Chains A and B, each alone.
Chain A
Amino acid sequence: MSSVTYDHVVKRYTSDLTVVKDFNVEIADKEFMVLVGPSGCGKSTALRMLAGLETITEGQIRIGDRVVNHVAAKDRDIAMVFQSYALYPHMSVFDNMAFPLQMKKMSRSEIDKRVKQASGILGLDNFLKRKPKALSGGQRQRVALGRAIVRNPKVFLLDEPLSNLDAKLRGQTRVELQKLHRDLETTFIYVTHDQVEAMTMGDRIAIMNAGILQQVGAPGEIYDHPANLFVAGFIGTPTMNFVPVTMENGNAKASGFDVKLPKPVGADKGILGFRPEALTDRIQDDGSTLEIKVEVVERLGSDQFLYGTAGEDTITARVDPRMKVAPGDRARLGLDLRGIHLFDSQTEKALL
């Protein structure tokens, strides 16, 4: 069993610098968990505490049933892939992958077998004698993965492993990593600031901000039911529209339009949120409508984004590319009520 549990974990550098606050997550065996958040949110620190590269100020981290707070990094049975790959520049690809096994005093034949096996999986067979300098970015990245695979660890830790790759390679590697996760049947914990990576790769996503865990859940769940204003704004591009509203008779009233709320809420003010795709040029009878003054039109082929205002609020809409609209027009759009969110203006928590 190689589940991972963060139990009330705190990381404090000085009395007034706490980078991880009361962090609680249970990561199941064989799960692909993504820790995502803006830079400086504490996600890397959370991962490095698990790796044994940072001490744990308070709380417990368990791998399986074992508390690892005071276990040395090398004895935690984990492997880590670094953003820079951390390949030893003076060693060949083979030696880089063999290094952790040599440290375990494994026999030469066993080392040979395991490195060959990993290089086979990763397609590195022809590069074993090369130095990292003579490899492309994608190949280096695979060597870093190989060095982790050979150890046959209980948990894989990946710290922004794709951010040094170009966009095209990143897309391919995303797919390869998911395949690798299926093949290895091991727990993956993956840190990234990129919400696309988080949404596409994770079985579940944990979103962090300012050292605090915001929400944990499957990608779809987080997208459709963000727990608070931060999560709603962090996930999804273009970002969700946020409009301050006041409540009157079960209606949310914004500066330029009204929306009938699907159920009553116990607040008289709030922030209404709806994603750009909740707006449509096909107006349905049971939906609400709003009129926006279009300022910028972006046609992307498959999509058409309209940027404009409704009353005093800025609105982004994602509409059918065939809709004829030009800057300066007024466009009446339908709002799909299934896609609306309401957040408390003080606590920022979801109200619907």
Chain B
Amino acid sequence: MTAEAAARVGVSHTARFSPAWVAERLQGAVLHVAVISLTVAWMVPAAGLLISSFRHFTDINQSGWWTALAPPYNFTLENYVQVLQSSNMGQSLFNSFMITIPATLIPVTIAAFAAYAFAWMKFPGRDWIFLALVGLLAVPLQLSFIPVLKVFVSIGLVVQNWGFVGVWLAHTGYGLPFSIYLLANFFRALPSDLFESAEIDGAGTLTVFFRIVLPLSVPAIASLVIFQFLWIWNDLLVALIYVGGTKSVAPLTVTLANLTNSLGQGYNLLTAAAFISMIIPLVVFLSLQRYFVRGILAGSVKG
């Protein structure tokens, strides 16, 4: 053992009992306690509801959810069974898919076309139009509802005639500014050499788009798809305006909101309904969190 190593061992040996060592350990402990208790506190609201959803109606009314954590354990699925039978959850789940899938596909595709032009083609007014899109990111959707509804009604583009077509189109319009912004920024960051090389190799605009830009942008497109999917799945306002609360067409959010306002005392069903509405987004979120976070970072860190 060299003298230096011996000295090091000696130092660490004495340090173990020194006040500095104790302070450091204490600091570490305080940190872990702070982190874990903050996280646990953050989990309490959701955990409370989750536990309640597996309790009997009478139990929910008589005691807090935390009492269920102690034996005797008395959990049940009856809330879930009841809400799926009595209310409209099954149909709503289906409606949510019917609304969300096309309303995700259409704007992402159209945005990819536009973003390609904004990133790699030259045309008069390009920068100003793009700037206008950035401005539209902040404009409240409320501004558009009344005129669009008027037009929809006057041309008969309503749920009774055309099902969800109206809400697909509306979500397309609303989702485009963000989608174009995110994709154009990503496309623009692709190295220009690739495009020049492809040009010399004889690739046309379509080939470059489908064989180079799209495959290279899979991460950005995945982020955007997840983002748009969650935003539409979780949307209440646009669905209320263009679809409404009729049972046969209402998506999950609308049905759940109706339950909230109407059930009053029968709120045991609400607990189960809320979790049914969360299943899909949580699955999407937990399996694709990486892309979701990347999308958030790309969309919000402007520069």
Residues on A facing B (Cβ under 8 Å): 51-53, 73-75, 78-80, 82-86, 88-90, 99-100, 103-104, 147, 151
Which of B172-223 touch A at CB < 8 Å?
191, 193-194, 196-203, 207, 212, 215-216
Taking CB atoms, residues of chain B closer than 8 Å to A53 are 196, 199-200
In order of increasing CB-CB distance, the 7 nearest A-B pairs are A74-B202, A86-B193, A103-B202, A100-B201, A86-B197, A90-B215, A82-B193
Given A53-B196, A86-B196, A90-B216, the answer on whether A103 and B201 have CB atoms closer than 8 Å is yes
Distance, CA A67 to CA B278, complexed state (A): 66
Please measure, in the bound complex, the distance between the C-alpha atom of A248 and the C-alpha atom of B45, giving whole angstroms. 98
* Size bracket, chain B contacts: 10 to 19
Q: Is the contact region of chain B dominated by helix, strand, or loop, or is it mixed?
A: helix
Of the listed residues B198, B201, B207, the one surrounded by the most CB atoms of chain A closer than 10 A to its CB is: B201
Q: Using Cβ atoms and an 8 Å threshold, which residues of chain A touch B202?
A: 74-75, 100, 103-104
Q: Mark B225-254, 1 if CB is under 8 A from A, else 0.
A: 000000000000000000000000000000
Contact of A103 among B191, B193, B196, B203 (CB under 8 A): B203
Interchain CA distance A246-B151 in the complex, whole Å: 89
Given A84-B193, A86-B194; A74-B216 close (CB under 8 Å): no
What chain B residues lie within 8 Å of A99 (beta carbons)?
A: 198, 201, 203
> Which of B191, B193, B201 interacts with A74 by CB under 8 Å?
B201
Q: Is the CB of A103 within 8 A of B199?
A: no
* Bound CA–CA A80/B200 (angstroms): 8
Of the candidates A74, A104, A147, the one whose C-beta lies within 8 Å of that of B199 is A74
Question: Which residues of chain B are near A151, meaning CB under 8 Å?
Answer: 201
Across-interface contacts of A100 in B (CB, < 8 A): 200-202
Complex-state Cα separation, A100 to B212, whole angstroms: 13
Which residues on B sit within 8 Å (CB–CB) of A104? 202
Residues from chain A with Cβ under 8 Å of B207 in the complex: 103
Does A88 contact B193, Cβ atoms closer than 8 Å? no
Chain A nearest Cβ from B220, distance in angstroms: 13
Residue of B nearest to A78 (CB): B200
Question: Closest residue to A80 on the B side, CB-wise?
Answer: B200
